[in-house]
Amino acid sequence: MYLIKCWSCSAEYDALDASFCNHLKPTKICPYCFHCFCDAPEEYKKNFYENCPKDLLEEKLILENRISLRLGETLIKAGKITKRQLWYALKKQNILNKKIGEIFIMMNLLTPEELQLYLLDQNKVNDINLENFNIDHKLVEKIGKGFCITQKIIPIEIFHLNDQPILRFAFSPEGDLLKLKTQDELKRYKLIPYIAKKNHIEKLIEKIEKKQNKDEVILLEKDEDYTSI
């Protein structure tokens, strides 16, 4: 129990049982006058948080980090972290000003590869800079040169996690990710997509096309040499 007096109507109530408001920096709502204390004097707020139970501070911290909470809830359901670890990670996030995923990695709760997979459940596609990216032509061949060219995708890496092949790839903002996921060439992979700038994708596609044309010329020359024997 944490009894406080409402700053607005002076009624006494248990703050642990009261609800938080939906403001950016949520505060408790008085069950009598239905006013939160977002507009209360700073001294009132200071006294409230200096004397409140730890569990209430934990609840407030989580509410203030709703975006991070969505990923945290996914990880808790998957058994990767506990509620206590999420609370501690949110505290470190506020201090270090880093993304919550980076904090989980720093805490050795996730690997970078695992983070990418769990971010997929958030329906979030990160940006990637391919300005100085070097194409892995063997990887392109594995996916299919013609497919990469027509679909305008750039394969970045294939790795395995729990025997599941994972493909990291980039596509342009004009690409249709839902359509890409249904293509036979990609169905065998768990996909980690990134959005890259259109001009970067186009330059890399040109390199793939040049390599394909060069390979075709070499193959044609070999065929001509064979038939001339």
Sorted by where each begins, the domain ranges of the chain are 3-61, 65-120, 137-227
Q: Where are the beta strands (DSSP E) in 113-216?
A: 126-127, 153-161, 164-171, 190-195
Cβ neighbours of residue 164 under 8 Å, at least 6 residues apart?
A: 190
Entry pTM: 0.50
Confidence (pLDDT) at 4: 93
Residue pLDDT, tens place only, 37-52: 988 999 999 999 889 9
Task: Note whether 194 and 156 are within 8 A (CB).
Answer: yes
> How many C-beta neighbours within 10 Å does residue 116 have?
20
DSSP assignment letter at 20:
B
| pLDDT tens digits, 8-39 | 999 999 998 888 887 767 889 999 998 999 88
CA-CA-CA-CA dihedral for 106, 169, 138, 205, to nearest 10: -140
Least confident of 1-5, 64-68, 130-134, 168-172: 64-68
Q: Is 166 in contact with 111 (CB distance < 8 Å)? A: no
Q: Which residues contact 51 (CB under 8 A, 6 or more apart)?
A: 2
Average pLDDT over residues 192-200: 90
Residue 154's identity, in one-letter code, is I
Distance of CA 228 to the CA centre of its chain: 58
12-14 and 3-5 beta bridge pairing: antiparallel
- Rounded CA gap, 170 and 162, in Å? 23
Position 66 scores a pLDDT of 64
> Kind and range of the H or E element at 12?
strand 12-14
Coil vs helix vs strand at 111: coil
Q: Which of 77-91, 110-124, 181-195, 203-217 has the lowest mean pLDDT?
A: 110-124
